[in-house]
Structure 1
């Protein structure tokens, strides 16, 4: 339970780190998402999702948090020195508004 709450909180911090306040007329679907160096994310490139504040644990990885071995859960590494597993991003091209990337 504690690791699930920690992962949720980490994603919330990440979301705030990569967004800016906007108004209804300010939305632009072509606006780029930037990494921590201010560079545009590249499709297919590997990135590590790490806490915004140092000393709050490591990156994200997969682990079993129940009595089952599959499916695995996304959890945060407990140690800051652990980067976790890399993730890659892909562009979403669908026109559906409610779930644009689900097929």
Structure 2
């Protein structure tokens, strides 16, 4: 009887762990995120409430362009996401790596590409998130991580595929008069917390269910 009970506990633990690891990412309606669908990244923390986008006049800027937090109450630009590892699943799951891009022709890169990647910028001694030509390597991998303190709230992290390097969350880094999306590398750096909002819901955003 004791052996059967111990086996039951082990199976229960495995089931619970697997369920947590494969939980779907949810939008503000409580619905599962889908690849290749447009969503806005809506700030859900204290402070300026701008979403994520590109600087004004981005079409005239060089390639690549820094990804920034927009000004107060500007929700920014929609993004589309695709899993790094192709899957038959039709939803995006928590703690999996995705490619992120702004849809459409937005930059002066070839084809107007606006795919996200991490790039170290020597002038500011910081790894920033930029949008431009798609680069299929770990610099373009972004992990969606659930924020346990928020209903349907998330943060982004970058997880270098290098032994000994840990995942680091994305936050904001001030350069001039702009707050740029950047890789947190200091103990007191705060993550950029957000909700995913369907494109068609902009203008009628509701709090998560």
Picking from 20, 29, 32, the partner of 1:37 is 29
* 1:50-69 Cα distance to aligned partner (Å, 9 max, x none): 111476222111239xxx73
Which residue of the other structure, out of 45, 62, 67, is the alignment partner of 1:69? 62
1:84 paired to 2:76? yes
Q: Distance in 1 between matches of 2:98 and 2:26?
A: 20
Higher strand share: 2
Which has more radius of gyration? Answer: 2
In the superposition, the TM-score normalised over structure 2's length comes to: 0.29
1:50 aligns with 2:42: yes
Whose RCO is larger (CA < 8 A, sep 6+)?
1
Q: CA RMSD in A?
A: 3.5
C-alpha displacement of 1:27: 4.8
Partner SS state of residue 26, structure 1: helix
The number of residue pairs the alignment matches comes to 74
Question: What SS does structure 1 have at the residue aligned with 2:24?
Answer: coil
Q: Runs of 4+ in structure 1 displaced over 4 angstroms?
A: 99-103
- Matches of 1:83 and 1:61 in 2, distance apart? 8
- Cα 1:31–1:63 change in 2 (3 A) is same
Q: Structure 1 residue 90: deviation in Å?
A: 1.2
Say if 2:82 and 2:98, in contact at 8 Å, map to a contact too.
Answer: no
